[in-house]
């Protein structure tokens, strides 16, 4: 990755997150901005080896449900291994990310599970939503999704020591 200066409004959030000391003594240097309209999501995935294994997400404009899945290649007992499991069967829990919330993903949940967002227009909160006690919403409530912008702020430990000039030469 080639480092570039962040816009100042993003630098403000990145500084605040960095002051939480989540990245092994380093400051966050990477921000991914995603926009989801109602009905849009992201397939279950892991974030990969490029990133420091702690990820912070600010949710703006709407809630979403972030779903966690056992990966397909997870070691299972011989008996369990015989039966391929569906996505629904591999879904272990969800977390409600409320608008204006900060979510910190790390350790076991980051390293050993896939995460994704289902492409839905509304979410009905059930017993698999594991953080309802920390939220204002209640079980069995249905929340319509609006447009959500997420700021995923994290550290890419290895960056090139050069600057990218994208503007025209004067
Ligand atoms: O938008 C989110 O909260 C999650 C995004 C995500 O998992 C990703 O971009 O890798
Ligand atoms: Fe991700």
User: pLDDT tens across 21-53, in order?
Assistant: 999 999 999 999 999 999 999 999 999 899 999
**What is residue 84's predicted lDDT score, i.e. its pLDDT?**
73
Decide if pLDDT at 10 tops 90.
yes
Q: Is the Cα dihedral 114, 44, 147, 127 positive or negative? A: negative
What's phi and psi for 11, nearest 5 deg? -65, -35
For atom 10 of ligand 1, the residue with the nearest CA is 47
pTM of the model: 0.89
ipTM above 0.85, yes or no: yes
For atom 3 of ligand 1, the residue with the nearest CA is 150
Pocket of ligand 1 (CB under 6 A): 32, 34, 42, 47, 57, 66, 115, 150, 152
């Amino acid at each position: 990755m080639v480092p570039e200066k962040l816009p100042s409004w993003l630098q403000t959030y990145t500084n605040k997150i960095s002051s939480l000391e989540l990245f092994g003594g380093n400051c966050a240097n990477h921000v991914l901005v995603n926009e989801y309209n109602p009905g849009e999501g992201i397939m279950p995935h892991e974030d990969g080896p490029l990133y420091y294994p702690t990820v912070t997400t600010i949710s703006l404009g709407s809630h979403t449900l972030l779903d966690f899945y056992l990966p397909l290649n997870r070691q299972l007992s011989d008996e369990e291994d015989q039966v391929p499991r569906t996505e629904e069967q591999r879904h272990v829990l969800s977390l409600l990310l409320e608008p204006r919330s900060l979510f910190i993903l790390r350790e076991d949940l980051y390293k050993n599970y896939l995460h994704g967002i289902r492409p839905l227009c509304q979410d009905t909160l059930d017993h698999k939503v594991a953080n309802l006690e920390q939220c204002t919403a209640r079980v069995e409530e249905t929340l319509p999704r609006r447009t959500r912008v997420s700021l995923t702020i994290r550290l890419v430990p290895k960056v090139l020591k050069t600057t990218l000039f994208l503007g025209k030469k004067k």
